[in-house]
Amino acid sequence: MKPRPEYYDYTYDMFIASIDGEQSEASRFSDWIDAAERDGVYAFEAPRLEGQKTMVHARRNDGTPLHLLNFSSYNYLGYGMHREVIDAAKAALDQYGLGACSSPVQAGTNELHKALEQQLIEFVGLPGRGVSLFSSGYAVNTGTISALMKRRHHIVIDKSAHMSILEGAQLARSKVHYFEHNDADHLKKILEEIAPTASRILVCTEGVFSADGDYGALDKIVPLAKSYGAQVLVDEAHSFGLCGKQGRGVAEELGVLDQVDYLVVTFSKALGGIGGAVITRHEIARYINWYARCRMFSCALDPAVTAGVTKALELAGGSDGAARRTRLQHNAAVLRGALEGHVNTGRSRSWIVPVIYGPENLSIPLADWLQRHGLDGSVMSFPAVPVNEARIRLFVTSEHDETQLQQCADIVRGAAVELEFTITKKGTP
């Protein structure tokens, strides 16, 4: 590998904290980005010139045109560009205007929101439940957890859980515990210790973990938590609409859907929009509507997205959704198979295929190399993932074809050779 400029050895986490009052971390971070842009290697934030299709035109900030294989979009089922979904959004735009222009507890709620709530309940097959809609998926977790949990309560979180769950716990100011990823035995030890005196316990985990692409061990964790009187929140952001016999997520696939107290879903993945919801008991949903501060004091979900998401959910619940899920599973298996033995794909078993390249200081040159060779892949590094476990995160969709899957694998394998993170005999970079 060719020598790299010294500034490549800076990493994102080096700019997070500062002890002075001058915000020097912001200046130093900006200098880092400026240096990468001057050298023409800054591959992030390149504006897309069209919607999230499998091939996209983009442009770097220096004006360089790009034509890219798109594996960085979680438009998993292609509904973000579906004609019927777009038409539904356009019709709502004409009738209701650009935005809701009010809090959902005031004038921001319209009949489109009520229709989406009802469709969500029907889709998950849990009649009698309630829904609280949020204008972002991130806000579902921060708002729900901070509304329901108080200082004297306990929140127990899988160590690999999404940052929105962690921040929700921080906002709640509850007592926070972490169990090893998918480790029911460790969770049991924590629950044994706190359950005798705890007035309220919330266990938080996920359907598919977005950094590793593996399933949550819900068939073990959910019944265990319930046996200790704990409530359970499952974030199905990257699995809702994508697995299970009816597309209801990992909780359905593993047979525990009816035991989940708070089913968190987002609209930006399988449904191709933005926003999210928590599905729970009717009276609790009503409480969250008023006591989730990030919902109460934010504008309601905009009409066009609401109508588009509702149409996407309708399609996902029928034969079209079933066919797309089948293609998605097939495509993910094809890509994993093409990478197997060449790079470390970790414990993925889903449509999220990570390629773990290791040291954080490879992130700038790797992102640049991939983009210049025609691949748009999402790069993650510490603190989003553990130290020295930086990775490319490849999002497979139902719309990728076999040629595109093979091209993606070829480019990644070429990068692994060029930047020296091919797999070793032990299976790690």
Instruction: Specify the pLDDT at position 423.
Output: 83
Please check whether residue 184 is in contact with residue 161, taking contact to mean a CB–CB distance below 8 angstroms.
Answer: no
State the CATH architecture for 38-71+320-418: Alpha-Beta Complex (3.90)
Kindly tell me if the per-residue pLDDT of 191 is higher than 50.
yes
Phi, then psi, of 375 in degrees rounded to 5: -120, 130
Instruction: Please name which of 187, 252, 181 lies closest in space to residue 211, comparing C-alpha atoms.
Output: 181
Task: Specify the pTM.
Answer: 0.94
Q: How far is CA 374 from CA 193, 243, 404, in A?
A: 52, 30, 11
299: left (phi over 0), alpha (psi -120 to 50) or beta: beta
Predicted confidence (pLDDT) per residue in 346-359, tens digit: 999 999 999 999 99
Predicted confidence (pLDDT) per residue in 140-165, tens digit: 999 999 999 999 999 999 999 999 99
Domain ranges across the chain: 38-71+320-418, 83-316
Predicted confidence (pLDDT) per residue in 258-296, tens digit: 999 999 999 999 999 999 999 999 999 999 999 999 999
**Would you call 94 exposed, middle or buried from its count of C-beta atoms within 10 A (0-12, 13-18, 19+)?**
exposed
Helices (H), 174-297: 184-194, 218-227, 250-253, 282-291, 293-296
**Would you call 326 exposed, middle or buried from its count of C-beta atoms within 10 A (0-12, 13-18, 19+)?**
exposed
Does domain 83-316 match CATH 3.40.640.10? yes
Instruction: Please name which of 144, 143, 133 lies closest in space to residue 309, comparing C-alpha atoms.
Output: 133
Instruction: Specify the pLDDT at position 424.
Output: 60
| Residue 59 to residue 48: CA distance in whole angstroms | 7
Instruction: Specify the pLDDT at position 250.
Output: 98
Structure tokens at 309: 């998401």
Kindly tell me if the per-residue pLDDT of 426 is higher than 50.
no
pLDDT mean over 291-310: 97
Instruction: Please name which of 381, 362, 350, 334 lies closest in space to residue 422, comparing C-alpha atoms.
Output: 362
Please check whether residue 282 is in contact with residue 128, taking contact to mean a CB–CB distance below 8 angstroms.
Answer: yes
| Residue 15 to residue 32: CA distance in whole angstroms | 10
Cis amide prior to 383 (ω within 30 degrees): yes
HSE of 103, CA atoms in CB hemisphere, 13 A:
12
For the chain, what is the mean pLDDT? Answer: 94
User: Strand pairing partners for 340?
Assistant: none
pLDDT band per the 50, 70, 90 thresholds, residue 99:
very high
3-state secondary structure of 188: helix
Instruction: Please name which of 2, 24, 4 lies closest in space to residue 14, comparing C-alpha atoms.
Output: 24
The percent of residues in the chain predicted with pLDDT above 90, rounded, is 87
